[in-house]
């Protein structure tokens, strides 16, 4: 399988285009025309990870964090980013990053954190805004099913755990072909009455081009009558963070002890201990202080994330326990998740998790 073929199939599972706008995901370096000899999964594509790929004769590194985040003006090996990229290029190794595409995924980073905490009734903490669109198309009755199937195949009508969702209204349409037209039915300069269907489907914005292409390829008319409508509905199945409820409420001290054990932590940084019990818990893997207000709005009793700054701890306002469990520690399940996804889907090349510890933070106990 070529790298570009792998990317095409992999992004059907975790679409790169659902990443945050600021992020740098996808194929960061490498020739996508090369055949894959093996994929090494890592949290960070450091130089030591590239060395491991070379040793294993793997030519693809699938990493969580993008080693290239901002623009590189040169690649001379003067810092850890350039050294990793330079060695990858010299040894014909491709690097592909997923980062916030996996953060935003319904079964991504935050899903696994909630699973580790055994949270029930899970929901997205910060659902994607302004992402959904509705397509309305007028199509002849006898062509409606063919067009509908093509739109579904292109990704339209997928809503949460349902697919092939649409709505149709039958009616009568009119048009008059003018000079220069080549109508499927009707005569130039004469009004035509046609039995048509108004077909509606909803889709995520990043699928727009493929869906419009499928529409035009499978519509019989020379000029397709359609409209795109931006929806204000939140996408309840894509977004950052997650929250859910414990089976039973816990004292704060017992909750912190449980978190420390389940995540194998050396330390938990937290704000002042509240007197309330812990029942609803919010999570956001990585640097998640931006989700504190959303967690409070969701009536979370506790919030787990990483990279919380001094002043962020005040944001709890004695309403919510804020726990900084560490950036890497909150994302620690990612490589195993990706290993399981790839092992189930791809069987024609070797897949392995790195043995290199890439967490740069250490604790003196």
Asked whether residue 97 falls in the same domain as residue 10, the answer is: yes
Locus of tokens 């962020």: 312
Q: pLDDT of 333-362, one tens digit each?
A: 999 999 999 999 999 999 999 999 999 999
Contact of 231 with 285, CB cutoff 8 Å: no
Domain count, the chain: 3
Asked whether residue 27 falls in the same domain as residue 74, the answer is: yes
- The mean of the pLDDT values for the chain is 95
Contact of 272 with 251, CB cutoff 8 Å: no
CA 351 – CA 365 distance, rounded (Å):
35
Residue 42: closest CA among 62, 69, 25: 62
- Is 273 inside a domain boundary? yes
| Residue 128: strand, helix, or coil | strand
CA 352 – CA 362 distance, rounded (Å):
25
Asked whether residue 314 falls in the same domain as residue 337, the answer is: no
- Is 364 inside a domain boundary? no
Mean pLDDT across the stretch 94-119? Answer: 98
Residue at a domain's end among 191, 208, 231 = 231
- Is 359 inside a domain boundary? no
Per-residue pLDDT for 275 more than 80? no
CA 337 – CA 45 distance, rounded (Å):
17
Asked whether residue 7 falls in the same domain as residue 54, the answer is: yes
Q: What is the pLDDT of residue 303?
A: 98
Per-residue pLDDT for 25 more than 80? yes
Question: What is the SS3 string spanning 4-23?
Answer: HHHHHHHHHHCCHHHCCCCC
- What are the φ and ψ backbone dihedral angles of 332, each rounded to 5 degrees? -65, -15
CA 305 – CA 325 distance, rounded (Å):
6
Asked whether residue 197 falls in the same domain as residue 166, the answer is: yes
- Is 89 inside a domain boundary? yes
Asked whether residue 166 falls in the same domain as residue 90, the answer is: no
Query: What tokens were used for 235?
Result: 């996408």
Q: pLDDT of 165-193, one tens digit each?
A: 999 999 999 999 998 888 888 888 989 89
DSSP states along 45-86: --HHHHHHHHHHT--EEEEEE-S--S--S--SSSSHHHHHHH
Who's near 319: CB < 8 A, 6+ residues apart? Answer: 274, 296
- Is 199 inside a domain boundary? yes
- Is 344 inside a domain boundary? yes
According to the annotation, is 247 in a ligand binding site? no
Can you give the residue range of the structural domain that contains 214? 131-231
Q: How many CB atoms lie within 10 A of CB 3?
A: 20
Locus of tokens 């812990």: 278
| Residue 216: strand, helix, or coil | helix
Residue at a domain's end among 231, 247, 274 = 231
According to the annotation, is 209 in a ligand binding site? no
CA 3 – CA 62 distance, rounded (Å):
11
Residue 54: closest CA among 356, 361, 362: 356
Per-residue pLDDT for 235 more than 80? yes
According to the annotation, is 103 in a ligand binding site? yes
Asked whether residue 298 falls in the same domain as residue 172, the answer is: no
Q: Which residues of 290-319 are buried (b: 16+ CB within 10 A; e: fewer)?
A: ebbebbbebebbbbbbbebeeebbebbeee
Q: What is the DSSP code (8-state) at residue 222?
A: S
Maximum distance among all alpha carbons in the chain?
Answer: 86
Asked whether residue 299 falls in the same domain as residue 172, the answer is: no
Q: What is the pLDDT of residue 160?
A: 87
Asked whether residue 64 falls in the same domain as residue 196, the answer is: no
* CATH number of domain containing 317: 3.40.1390.30
Q: What is the pLDDT of residue 186?
A: 82
Asked whether residue 12 falls in the same domain as residue 87, the answer is: yes
Asked whether residue 117 falls in the same domain as residue 174, the answer is: no
Q: pLDDT of 73-105, one tens digit each?
A: 999 999 999 999 999 999 999 999 999 999 999
- Is 164 inside a domain boundary? yes
Asked whether residue 60 falls in the same domain as residue 93, the answer is: yes
Contact of 211 with 137, CB cutoff 8 Å: no
Residue 186: closest CA among 225, 217, 221, 144: 221
- Is 308 inside a domain boundary? yes
Tell me whether strands 302-306 and 278-287 are parallel, antiparallel or unpaired.
parallel
Residue at a domain's end among 231, 247, 267 = 231
Q: pLDDT of 240-267, one tens digit each?
A: 999 999 999 999 999 999 999 999 999 9
CA 86 – CA 58 distance, rounded (Å):
16
Residue 129: closest CA among 241, 204, 200, 202: 204
CA 70 – CA 154 distance, rounded (Å):
32
Higher pLDDT, 73 or 200: 200
Q: What is the pLDDT of residue 245?
A: 98
Per-residue pLDDT for 70 more than 90? no
Helix (H) or strand (E) holding 341: helix 334-345
Give 273's pLDDT tier (boundaries 50, 70, 90).
confident
Write down the pTM of the prediction: 0.91
């Amino acid at each position: 399988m070529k790298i570009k073929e792998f990317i095409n199939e992999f992004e059907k599972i975790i679409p790169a285009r659902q990443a945050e706008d600021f992020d740098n995901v996808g194929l960061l370096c490498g020739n996508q025309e090369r055949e894959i000899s093996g994929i090494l999964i890592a949290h960070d594509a450091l130089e030591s990870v590239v060395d491991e790929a070379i040793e294993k004769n793997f030519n693809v590194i699938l990493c969580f964090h993008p080693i290239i985040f901002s623009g590189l003006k040169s690649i001379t090996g003067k810092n850890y980013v350039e050294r990793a990229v330079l060695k990858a290029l010299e040894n014909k190794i491709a690097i592909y990053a997923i980062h916030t595409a996996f953060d935003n995924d319904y079964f991504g980073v935050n899903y696994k954190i909630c699973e580790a905490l055994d949270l029930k009734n899970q929901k997205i903490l910060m659902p994607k805004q302004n992402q959904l669109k509705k397509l309305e198309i007028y199509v002849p009755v006898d062509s409606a099913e063919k067009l509908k199937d093509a739109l579904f195949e292109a990704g339209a009508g997928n809503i949460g755990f349902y697919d092939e969702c649409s709505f149709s209204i039958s009616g009568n349409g009119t048009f008059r072909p003018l000079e220069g037209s080549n109508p499927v039915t009707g005569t130039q300069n004469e009004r035509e009455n046609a039995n048509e269907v108004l077909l509606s489907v909803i889709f995520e914005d990043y699928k727009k081009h493929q869906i419009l292409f499928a529409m035009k390829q499978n519509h019989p008319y020379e000029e397709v009558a359609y409209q795109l409508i931006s929806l204000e509905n939140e996408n309840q199945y894509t977004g950052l963070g997650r929250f859910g409820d414990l089976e039973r409420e816990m004292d704060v001290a017992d909750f912190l002890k449980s978190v420390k054990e389940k995540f194998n932590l050396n330390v938990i940084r937290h704000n002042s201990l509240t007197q309330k019990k812990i029942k609803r818990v919010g999570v956001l893997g990585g640097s998640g202080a931006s989700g504190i207000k959303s967690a409070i709005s969701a009536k979370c009793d506790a919030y787990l994330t990483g990279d919380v700054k001094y002043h962020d701890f005040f944001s709890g306002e004695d309403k919510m326990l804020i726990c900084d469990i560490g950036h890497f520690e909150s994302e620690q399940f990612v490589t195993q998740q990706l290993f399981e996804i790839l092992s189930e889907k791809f069987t024609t090349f070797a897949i392995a998790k790195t043995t290199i510890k890439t967490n740069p933070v250490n604790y003196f106990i």
